[in-house]
Amino acid sequence: MASRTNPFTFLQQVRAETAKVTWPTRRETLISTVMVLIMVFIAAIFFFAADQALGWIIGLILNIGA
C-alpha cells in the first residue's frame, strides 16, 4: 500500500519537477506551430484528393454494374 503524501508536500514536489522542465522559447513555439499547420494543410489536401479519387473509382464500378 502506498504511503499518502500531504497536499503541501505534493505541491512542493510538483513545483520542483516543473523547475526541471526545459520550456521552449517563443521562436521555437512559433516554428513548431507553423510546421504543424503546414502538415495539417498537406494532410487535408491528400485526404481530399484520396476521397475524390476513391469516389470516382467507386462511381465507375457501380455504373459498370448497372
Q: Look at residue 3 in the predicted model and tell me its pLDDT.
A: 73
Residues near 13 by beta carbon (within 8 Å), at least 6 away in sequence: 5
Determine the pLDDT at residue 64: 76
Distance, in Å, from the CA atom of 36 to the CA atom of 28, rounded to the nearest integer, reads 12
Q: What was the pLDDT predicted at 54?
A: 96
Predicted local confidence at residue 1, as pLDDT? 55
Closest of 3, 5, 24, 4 to residue 13, by C-alpha: 5
Q: What is the C-alpha to C-alpha distance for residues 6 and 40, in angstroms, rounded to an integer? A: 44
> Is the overall model pTM greater than 0.75, yes or no?
no
If phi > 0 it is left, if psi is from -120 to 50 it is alpha, else beta; for residue 30 that is alpha
pLDDT of residue 63: 85
Residues in the chain with pLDDT < 50?
A: none
